[in-house]
Amino acid sequence: MIIAYVNEAMKRAKYKILDDATFFGEVPGLQGVWADADTLEECRQKLQEVLEGWLILKLRDNDNDIPVLGGISLAREKERA
């Protein structure tokens, strides 16, 4: 399920060329998930690494503030008393 989430997020990534001819990429809606690099491919790779690290921290911290993407939810269900 995590791989599917990463794939869905990467489909939504937006890239642009900066004034210094480097590339910037981000995933809209996922605050703090961005990267920059000299080439588009490097930027894509870095962006995916940042996304994976972001998800690991969110899951480790039991942060249920992970947006649903493409019907994929990584939020943990609350334990029943």
pLDDT tens sequence for the chain (81 residues): 899 999 999 999 999 999 999 999 999 999 999 999 999 999 999 999 999 999 999 999 998 889 999 999 997 765 444
3-state SS record for the chain: CHHHHHHHHHHCCEEEECCCCCEEEECCCCCCCEEEECCHHHHHHHHHHHHHHHHHHHHHCCCCCCCCECCECCCCCCCCC
Confidence (pLDDT) at 77: 67
